[in-house]
């Protein structure tokens, strides 16, 4: 190995030593700044979590940015204390007992000493306790700021109060129907106005019993109206399709019956709480059932197709509320129109449900003994006079052992003005309590 190679080897070692020392100086300057950044970052994070919902990515980016800035500042501050190669050379030659040969050789006096085959360790040792403890402290304080539980009361304040689910559902329907243009916008605006009226109340009152009941009622009413509209659209579409398909084959009597049915359906569509939108509504409004006779098959099919599309749009909008499915629309069925072959059972909210009387060996079972509870959730324990809690069809039972009028007894005390007519009697337990109180 020639002198030049030896020199390069020594200078590499000297530079390595200088770099380590400089890293130490940089750490010395950086650690206090890092600690300050982490304390401020942790406290800020905690404060933001207490007051609002912080953006985690934003916080991470801010803290990382501050740490990087701290690194740069520390480097600038530490630079003036950085160890030069000549200083590192002195440190190295003193520690390795090189008898100042490196300093002399660098000045051109004497030869570079031969580089040891087994290179000794650099004459510095790291004191890891301080950097590790500072880094641990920083991580701990950031973790505390990020994950320390926030007091529940303050956390609640930070949350946004969401609308009741019923209103959200109605809102979704309105949005969907407006997009599909399936319902008259005026009807939708009315619904929205009602919703706004409910939401105008303070947020804290949204979940009160009365508000929830009102929201549920709005949802039920709107859902029911839409359900009825959908069912009527489907029925009208069915009638129109039948008329288009079989119009030429039907007898005059059947055709007349079908026209009458169509007339009823159109009337229902015009008088319903919800109406179709746009030119379809206009067309249905001006349409006379008798005019159908003048319509071609294609025209009727086209109209039926439009009605079907409208019904589909309604079905799609109500998809998140299975209770308002068109098939479940019991109120939409007229007697004899429901599914199955049994007579209607009637109910408090949809009439008597009479079935056509037939002449059979067995009498028609009208199931009149069955009671039907009210659909409304009236607490039977808190009913007030006048509340209807149930209906029962029953044959009056005549009292056969009539014995004639009987005396009704006599009053023990007729009572004077202001006198107590009912004397309270205490049970033994109450009496014991009173006795203990006055003792």
Partner 1 sequence: MADSPELPQAHASLHQLRTTLQSVLFGQEHLIDLVLTGLLARGHLLLEGLPGLGKTELVKGLSKALGLEAKRIQFTPDLLPGDITGNPMLQETPQGRRFVFQPGPVFANLVLADEINRASPKTQSALLEAMQERRVTVMGESHPLPEPFFVLATQNPIELEGTYPLPEAQLDRFLFKLEVRATTAETLEKIVLNREIGVEPVVPAVMNAESFGALLQLTRSIFMPQPVASFIARLVHATQPGEPHATGVKHGASPRAALALAAGAKAKAVLEGRPNASYEDVRAIAPAVLRHRLILDYGAKIEGLTPDLVVQRLIENIPAQDKPLPTTLAAAKV
Q: In the set 6, 67, 104, 366, which binds partner 1 (CB under 8 A)? A: 104
CA-based nearest residue to 24, from 75, 73, 68, 65: 75
Q: How many residues comprise the chain?
A: 439
Q: In the set 94, 180, 216, 372, which binds partner 1 (CB under 8 A)? A: 94
Structure tokens at 83: 């160890």
Task: Give 390's contacts (C-beta < 8 A, 6+ positions apart).
Answer: 371, 372, 373, 374
24 binds partner 1 (CB under 8 A): yes
Q: In the set 10, 13, 21, 211, which binds partner 1 (CB under 8 A)? A: 21
120 binds partner 1 (CB under 8 A): yes
Straight-line distance from the first to the last Cα atom of the chain, in angstroms, rounded to the nearest whole number: 115
CA-based nearest residue to 161, from 130, 199, 127: 199
Between 76 and 433, CB nearer to partner 1 = 76
Contacts 24+ apart (CB under 8 A), 265-270: 265/232, 265/235, 265/236, 265/239, 266/236, 268/228, 268/232, 269/229, 269/232, 269/233, 269/236
71 to 90: interface string for partner 1, x by CB under 8 A: ----------x-x--xx--x
Minimal distance in Å, beta carbon 116 to partner 1? 11
Minimal distance in Å, beta carbon 27 to partner 1? 5
Residues 26, 77: Cα–Cα separation, whole Å: 8
Q: In the set 25, 173, 324, 326, which binds partner 1 (CB under 8 A)? A: 25
101 binds partner 1 (CB under 8 A): yes
11 binds partner 1 (CB under 8 A): no
DSSP 3-state of 349? coil
242 binds partner 1 (CB under 8 A): no
Stretch binding partner 1 (CB under 8 A), from 101-109, 177-185, 221-229, 306-314: 101-109
Q: Which residue has the tokens 């005026």?
A: 186
Between 93 and 228, CB nearer to partner 1 = 93
Minimal distance in Å, beta carbon 53 to partner 1? 39
Minimal distance in Å, beta carbon 1 to partner 1? 20
123 binds partner 1 (CB under 8 A): yes
Residues 3, 303: Cα–Cα separation, whole Å: 103
124 to 143: interface string for partner 1, x by CB under 8 A: xxxxx-xx------------
33 binds partner 1 (CB under 8 A): no
Between 128 and 402, CB nearer to partner 1 = 128
Between 83 and 176, CB nearer to partner 1 = 83
Q: Total binding residues for partner 1 by CB under 8 A? A: 38
Between 104 and 347, CB nearer to partner 1 = 104
Residues 179, 177: Cα–Cα separation, whole Å: 5
100 binds partner 1 (CB under 8 A): yes
Minimal distance in Å, beta carbon 156 to partner 1? 46
Task: Give 183's contacts (C-beta < 8 A, 6+ positions apart).
Answer: 177, 226, 229, 274, 275, 276, 277, 314
Task: Give 119's contacts (C-beta < 8 A, 6+ positions apart).
Answer: 13
Structure tokens at 176: 């969907």
CA-based nearest residue to 225, from 191, 175, 266: 191
Contacting residues toward partner 1, per CB under 8 A? 20-21, 24-25, 27-28, 81, 83, 86-87, 90-91, 93-101, 103-104, 107, 109-111, 120-128, 130-131
């Amino acid at each position: 190995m020639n002198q030049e190679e030896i020199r390069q080897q020594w200078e590499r070692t000297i530079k390595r030593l200088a770099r380590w020392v400089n890293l130490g100086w940089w750490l010395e300057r950086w650690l206090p700044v890092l600690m300050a950044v982490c304390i401020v970052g942790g406290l800020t994070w905690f404060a933001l979590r207490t007051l609002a919902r912080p953006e985690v990515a934003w916080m991470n980016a801010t803290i990382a940015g501050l740490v990087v800035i701290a690194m740069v500042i520390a480097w600038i501050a530490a630079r003036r204390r950085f160890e030069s190669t000549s200083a590192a050379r002195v440190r190295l030659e003193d520690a390795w007992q090189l008898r100042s040969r490196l300093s002399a050789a660098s000045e051109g006096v004497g030869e570079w000493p031969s580089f040891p085959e087994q290179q000794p360790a650099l004459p510095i040792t790291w004191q890891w306790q301080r950097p590790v403890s500072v880094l641990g402290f920083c991580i701990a304080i950031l973790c505390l700021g990020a994950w320390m539980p926030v007091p529940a009361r303050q956390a609640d304040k930070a949350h946004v109060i969401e609308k009741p689910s019923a209103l959200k559902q109605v809102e979704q329907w309105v949005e969907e129907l407006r997009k599909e243009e399936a319902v008259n916008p005026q009807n939708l605006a009315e619904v929205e106005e009602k919703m706004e009226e409910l939401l105008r109340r303070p947020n804290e009152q949204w979940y009160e019993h009365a508000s929830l009941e009102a929201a549920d009622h709005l949802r039920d009413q709107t859902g029911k109206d839409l359900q009825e509209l959908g069912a009527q659209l489907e029925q009208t579409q069915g009638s129109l399709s039948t008329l288009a398909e079989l119009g030429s084959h039907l007898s005059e009597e059947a055709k007349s019956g079908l026209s009458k049915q169509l007339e009823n359906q159109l009337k229902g569509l015009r008088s319903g709480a919800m109406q179709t939108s746009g030119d379809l509504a206009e067309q249905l409004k001006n349409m006379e059932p008798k005019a159908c006779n003048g319509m071609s098959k294609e025209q009727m099919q086209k109209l039926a197709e439009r009605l079907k599309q409208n019904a589909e749009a309604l079905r799609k909008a109500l998809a998140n509320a299975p209770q308002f499915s068109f098939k479940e629309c019991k109120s939409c069925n007229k007697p004899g129109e429901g599914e199955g072959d049994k007579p209607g059972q009637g109910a408090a909210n949809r009439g008597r449900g009479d079935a056509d009387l037939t002449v059979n060996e067995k009498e028609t079972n009208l199931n009149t003994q069955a009671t039907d509870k009210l659909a409304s959730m009236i607490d039977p324990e808190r009913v007030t006079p006048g509340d209807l809690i149930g209906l029962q069809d029953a044959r009056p039972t005549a009292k056969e052992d009539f014995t004639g009028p009987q005396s009704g007894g006599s009053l023990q005390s007729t009572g004077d003005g202001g006198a107590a007519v009912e004397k309270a009697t205490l049970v033994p337990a109450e009496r014991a309590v009173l006795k203990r109180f006055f003792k």
